[in-house]
Structure 1
């Protein structure tokens, strides 16, 4: 409902802006005797409107008060001292200049509401997203949900469960050698290598996309995980020769940490990740 109101306010404000601009142009063109004067007044109205757009309504109202006071004093001087006649163009700009300011404020308000709504939806989408946008892998939110279930199954049915956490060694240095597009492609390629190295009932996650960190939940013990680790490193070595060296002109090396689930030592999924990352220190 709020979004619809913001859209209606924005559309209405833009329509009003076109209407009053059209009216001002027609009024200016219809009075050739005061053409220059009306052009100057139109520019003043636009200037106050622009200042209002980039500042606040209060600033715009203050400028309008100054304008009305100055223009009213000028008109009064012409009428009393010089014996002039108050004509339609005098009243027109006293009314239209504040109207320009009001419509500009409506546009600013509608734009701010739409921006706030967009930011809120973006944050909400990010908080609810369960897939990594670059690799289509499950993210850390999915990992926490799945790991909680897998850990419960492991405890209840005495099924071995091991978490592998892997990163690309010297990633920060490698980022300086390739552009952003190639970086995204490298992350995708490593993800595909990881996917082809596990069984169908195992799960692969992108735990951190900024500093690429993958997590693999394996229904196997620590020794079985070593087989997966060897398979991963062999495939990366093969890809370095066949793909990476030619595609990116660099070689990738994986750092892997693995830990088998123990209910007493690993109470939560986050503890599972922490314990696996500690094991990466021994992979040199």
Structure 2
């Protein structure tokens, strides 16, 4: 069964094809008619009508098309009187093509707006449910707990090792007193983008605490593999930090804690996350 988004997407594709076919037909008819000057002027007017359709909507477009048609009719009557009853029939396609092009463009843009609105509503719903952090677009604790449950179940079924890497900013509570609001935002964004870029595609990154910035990564890996990932993140963050002039006056570094799922000592995803957070206290590297 086709949902609304799929229907809108299909309708947009159909409208685009119709728009392209109509423009192709205009090109062919312009070539056949042979009246270069009139065709160029009419094409320019049609482009103006399409711009009006795109930016102002259907009603202003229809009104402008009516004015354009009225102008053509008056010009045709004038030519009819001066040419002793002769009408240039090959140019009459300009009476209908502009309005058909405007209608197809309007249909295409309307479905595009509907799709964008649907995507915006979905994003807002996800943010409202707490699944995504609005500032960094990273998943939050809500998503971490849900995804960790899947990781843990996979561990139980297939015996794949599951680890979490917890990342914090060293001495953040003291440091934020010396930083402006802009520097705090830059630091949060820089760390989030670095962690997200360096982790592998199948490793998922989360921002589990926004007040005391705390990032988490879930990995199908043992402690050794998690340490390798942590070292890459440290090196990548140091390199990115060196290129950020707005933070150059501050001595910023990361602390990392690593915990591996242990079914004998842990009961739920919170135990795994909290074990990783505790390990950050012992990171002196």
Give TM-score scaled by structure 2 length: 0.54
Secondary structure of the equivalent of 2:41? helix
In the alignment, the residues of structure 1 paired with residue 81 and residue 64 of structure 2 have an alpha-carbon distance, to the nearest angstrom, of: 25
Secondary structure of the equivalent of 1:206? strand
Aligned residues: 188
Residue in structure 1 matched with residue 176 of structure 2 by the alignment: 171
Q: CA deviation at 1:176?
A: 2.9
- In structure 2, runs of 5+ residues without a counterpart are 146-170, 197-205, 216-233, 242-249, 256-285
Matches for 1:101-250 after TM superposition, within 5 Å: 101-130=102-131, 138-139=141-142, 168-171=173-176, 173=179, 176=183, 182-184=190-192, 206-208=208-210, 211-213=211-213, 248=241, 250=251
Q: CA deviation at 1:179?
A: 5.9
Q: CA deviation at 1:92?
A: 0.5
Q: CA deviation at 1:187?
A: 8.7
Relative distance call for 1:246 and 1:47 in structure 2 (3 A) is closer
Residue in structure 1 matched with residue 226 of structure 2 by the alignment: none
Residue in structure 1 matched with residue 49 of structure 2 by the alignment: 48
In the alignment, the residues of structure 2 paired with residue 17 and residue 106 of structure 1 have an alpha-carbon distance, to the nearest angstrom, of: 10
Secondary structure of the equivalent of 1:123? helix
Relative distance call for 1:212 and 1:35 in structure 2 (3 A) is farther
Q: Are 2:42 and 2:94, in contact at CA under 8 Å, matched by a contact in 1? A: yes
In the alignment, the residues of structure 2 paired with residue 29 and residue 42 of structure 1 have an alpha-carbon distance, to the nearest angstrom, of: 12
Relative distance call for 1:120 and 1:77 in structure 2 (3 A) is same
Q: Are 2:130 and 2:140, in contact at CA under 8 Å, matched by a contact in 1? A: no
- In structure 1, runs of 5+ residues without a counterpart are 143-165, 189-203, 216-241, 255-284
Question: Which shows bigger deviation, 176-185 or 120-129?
Answer: 176-185
Residue in structure 1 matched with residue 9 of structure 2 by the alignment: 7
Q: CA deviation at 1:93?
A: 0.4
Q: CA deviation at 1:250?
A: 0.7
Secondary structure of the equivalent of 2:208? strand
Q: Are 1:9 and 1:110, in contact at CA under 8 Å, matched by a contact in 2? A: yes
Q: Are 1:167 and 1:214, in contact at CA under 8 Å, matched by a contact in 2? A: no
Higher gyration radius (CA) = 1
Q: CA deviation at 1:71?
A: 1.2
In the alignment, the residues of structure 2 paired with residue 46 and residue 205 of structure 1 have an alpha-carbon distance, to the nearest angstrom, of: 48
Residue in structure 2 matched with residue 59 of structure 1 by the alignment: 60
1:211-252 C-alpha deviation (Å, 9 max, x unpaired):
54559xxxxxxxxxxxxxxxxxxxxxxxxxx99x97656147
Relative distance call for 1:141 and 1:48 in structure 2 (3 A) is same
Aligned CA RMSD, in angstroms, stands at: 4.0
Relative distance call for 1:131 and 1:21 in structure 2 (3 A) is closer
Q: Are 2:5 and 2:118, in contact at CA under 8 Å, matched by a contact in 1? A: yes
1:184-223 C-alpha deviation (Å, 9 max, x unpaired):
37999xxxxxxxxxxxxxxx98242xx54559xxxxxxxx
Q: Are 2:18 and 2:104, in contact at CA under 8 Å, matched by a contact in 1? A: yes
Secondary structure of the equivalent of 1:169? helix
Q: Are 2:76 and 2:87, in contact at CA under 8 Å, matched by a contact in 1? A: yes
